[in-house]
Amino acid sequence: MLGNEEHTDMLGVFRRRALLIAGQARRKKRQKRDLQNTIAALQEVTGMDPAELQAIADRVQREVASENDRFFSVPAQLAWVAIPVFLGVITIWLTAMLFLNWSLDS
């Protein structure tokens, strides 16, 4: 059975979570409303079809999302693997050169 303090803590967690979810929902509604207002304004200015403007907005949003996700791209992953390997090879090569130089001097 939960004590009074545990019960109060759990209610606090529920309240914070509910406020977070409500804030996210408000943000999404505001973003959607702002996008619709922007599309309506662009339609007035350009005379383009709203569906065409929506398609452009979707394409831009996908491109921005893909730019933010470049850390997980194949070139970035290759760099994270290749750089330590390259540094290891250089270290081994320099160590070998120093050892050979030391051996020749003896």
Provide mean pLDDT across the span 57-78: 73
Quick one: pLDDT band at residue 17, thresholds 50, 70, 90?
Answer: very high
DSSP assignments along 50-96, one per residue: HHHHHHHHHHHHHHHHHHHTGGGSHHHHHHHHHHHHHHHHHHHHHHH
Quick one: pLDDT band at residue 69, thresholds 50, 70, 90?
Answer: low
Q: What is the pLDDT of residue 62?
A: 81
Poorest-pLDDT segment among 18-32, 71-85, 89-103: 71-85
Q: What is the pLDDT of residue 82?
A: 87
Provide mean pLDDT across the span 96-104: 81
Percent of the chain with pLDDT over 70: 87
Q: Which sign, positive or negative, has the C-alpha torsion 17, 19, 21, 27?
A: negative
Q: What is the chain's mean pLDDT, rounded?
A: 84
